[in-house]
């Protein structure tokens, strides 16, 4: 029986697609430009870390916040927590509380076929909504992870190593992490830490300061030039979240 001679060949970036075929999975990439309402969160999955794009848009309405993108219960709660936190801090972010009742916010997490859940997208949710409401752009090369409280604290998360690997792979230059996760940085390889500017934060205000291209200008409740008379609008105390 005649033996066939083995052939050798080199695998390169140029020919790997011809050998393996069209990629089955496409990695999430960061936006090239600074945009309003679009943040890059970091998620942990069973196969490693992934970038998580979160989009928010403002439209005329009645103060409702809705969310789509096959979100799990925990992530829906993050949207709700983000809404009530922003309402409580409206003046600090230059937002007229009465105007908030005249606009709806829709939050969308793309790739709707993929279930998404977990609390660590809270900071990205808040940043996306604040950007949409203030029309201030978000830095496209900044990623973030962290859970939020109604007082604006940023709580620690899990899977930091996988998330930072995803950040490096996706081209992020800066990543905001909870200050309580600083202890976990000892487990991160130096070649990752040397290429990413890792900024620990303990409050949403610090996240906003580092993520937006400019900080919102606080307004005073006594600033009559920026506030609409209460008689023009009826403010409802009811929660306006729907999913």
Which token pair is 148?
């939020």
203: annotated active-site residue: no
Compute the distance between CA of residue 189 and CA of residue 204 in angstroms, rounded to an integer: 27
Cα separation, 159 vs 215, whole angstroms: 29
Helix extents (H) in the chain: 16-20, 73-88, 97-100, 122-134, 160-170, 190-193, 204-211
Of 120, 128, 131, 140, which residue is the catalytic one?
A: 120
8 is catalytic: no
CA 126 to mean position of chain CA atoms: 8
| CA atoms within 13 A of residue 16's CA, in its CB half-sphere | 4
Asked if 132 contacts 109 with a C-beta cutoff of 8 angstroms, the reply is no
CA torsion 175→119→117→129, rounded to 10°? Answer: -70
Distances (CA, A) of 118 to 74, 121, 128, 131, 215: 6, 7, 17, 22, 28
Choose the catalytic residue: 58, 89, 139, 163: 163
* Residues labelled as active-site residues: 120, 163
């Amino acid at each position: 029986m005649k033996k066939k001679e083995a052939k050798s060949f080199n695998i390169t970036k140029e020919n790997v697609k011809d050998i393996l075929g069209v990629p089955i999975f496409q990695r999430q990439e960061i936006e090239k430009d600074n945009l309003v309402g679009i943040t890059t969160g970091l998620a942990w999955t069973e196969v490693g870390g992934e970038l998580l794009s979160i989009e928010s848009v403002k439209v005329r309405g009645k103060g409702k916040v809705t969310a789509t993108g096959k979100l799990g219960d925990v992530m829906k709660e993050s949207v709700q927590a983000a809404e009530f936190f922003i309402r409580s801090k409206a003046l600090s972010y230059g937002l007229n509380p009465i105007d908030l009742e005249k606009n709806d916010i829709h939050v969308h997490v793309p790739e709707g076929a993929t279930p998404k859940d977990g609390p660590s997208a809270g900071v990205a949710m808040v940043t996306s909504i604040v950007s949409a409401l203030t029309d201030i752009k978000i830095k496209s090369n900044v990623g973030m992870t962290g859970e939020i409280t109604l007082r604006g604290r940023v709580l620690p998360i899990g899977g930091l190593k996988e998330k930072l690997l995803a950040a490096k792979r996706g081209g992020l230059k800066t990543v905001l992490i909870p200050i309580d996760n600083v202890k976990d940085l000892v487990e991160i390889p130096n070649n990752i830490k040397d290429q990413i500017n890792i900024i620990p934060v303990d409050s949403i205000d610090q996240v906003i300061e580092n993520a937006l291209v400019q900080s919102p200008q606080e307004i005073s409740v006594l600033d009559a030039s920026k506030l609409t008379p209460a008689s023009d609008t009826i403010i409802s105390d009811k929660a306006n979240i729907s999913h």
